[in-house]
Structure 1
């Protein structure tokens, strides 16, 4: 399966510091089978899909090819996260605690609250060799003030 890794920062990211397929070192503990650079049109489409298909429209707006405006609303997002985790926790019973489904569902809700295979690289200087699940992106947004712009740098396709 394929998905995308988005480089996100509150500062503009120079093209020299965009993530590329080379950013993510393979090895025994790598999540990715392989990564591939995207062309400019694919990158633009991926950013548009991030804003229009994954992120809540009332909270985010794409203001340019590389810029996303956070409009506010994280409190509602947090409330929905907590309600979702509680609902999934209620499904875990003494009888089901050893079953894969209910335990996996709560693990997924905790580590990937946006329920996406998109990963996020929250560094503007390209010094990390890994990207993170949507939990890190949600935490990033929780630290923003309404009206904050954030920038998308490189976008890399990955296979898992």
Structure 2
């Protein structure tokens, strides 16, 4: 592992041309806690297992997640009606939020095998990449950063 290349508080940006206004490294105890929350409560149940404090294994389940995602998207889209299309935090906003962040989490994901991506993404991009993995693929966890935007 190349810990010098881990995401850290000095390298984190959002993917929409905006910056987090606060980033800080967290201690090891809090880091372990957040990785546990990610694997056991945020990521779809049964799709991942914690292998070590820095590694998770993709077990499988992309087909089920994709079906659930499409069902959720359809449900959100059905709530969009002509009389609600202009509501400030109405169904259009809820659909847009769901499309970017179907796991409905405050966690952001930075995945980059090639060293070319310089920003974090919400959960849709992470799950899109997961759906292309083979079961048994190991994912190495780099930096876990506290942030505010």
| Aligned match of 1:56 | 44
Does residue 94 of the first structure (1) align with residue 82 of the second (2)? yes
1:150: which partner in 2? Answer: 139
Alpha-carbon distance in structure 1 between the residues aligned to 2:73 and 2:142 = 31
User: What residue number does 2:121 align with?
Assistant: 132
Identify which of structures 1 and 2 has the higher relative contact order when contacts are C-alpha pairs closer than 8 Å and 6+ apart.
1
CA offsets 1:30-73 (integer angstroms, 9 cap, x no match): 24121001112221111111101111231111011111111111
Is residue 19–residue 126 contact of structure 1 (8 Å, CA) maintained in 2?
Answer: no
Aligned to 1:121: 110
TM-score, with structure 2 as normaliser = 0.90
* Contact 2:13–2:20 (Cα < 8 Å) also in 1: no
Secondary structure of the residue aligned to 1:106 is helix
Corresponding residue of 1:34: 22
Instruction: Give RMSD over aligned pairs.
Output: 1.8
**TM-score normalised to the size of structure 1?**
0.84
Alpha-carbon separation, structure 1, partners of 2:24 and 2:2: 20
What CA distance in whole angstroms lies between the structure 1 residues aligned with 2:98 and 2:19?
A: 19
1:72 maps onto 2:60 in alignment: yes
**1:24 CA drift (Å):** 2.6
Structure 2 stretches of 5 or more lacking a match? Answer: none
Distance apart, 1:117 and its partner CA = 1.1
Q: How far apart in 1 are the matches of 2:39 and 2:106?
A: 15
List, as ranges, runs of 4+ consecutive aligned residues in structure 1 with deviation greater than 6 Å: none
Structure 1: gaps spanning 5 or more residues: 1-12
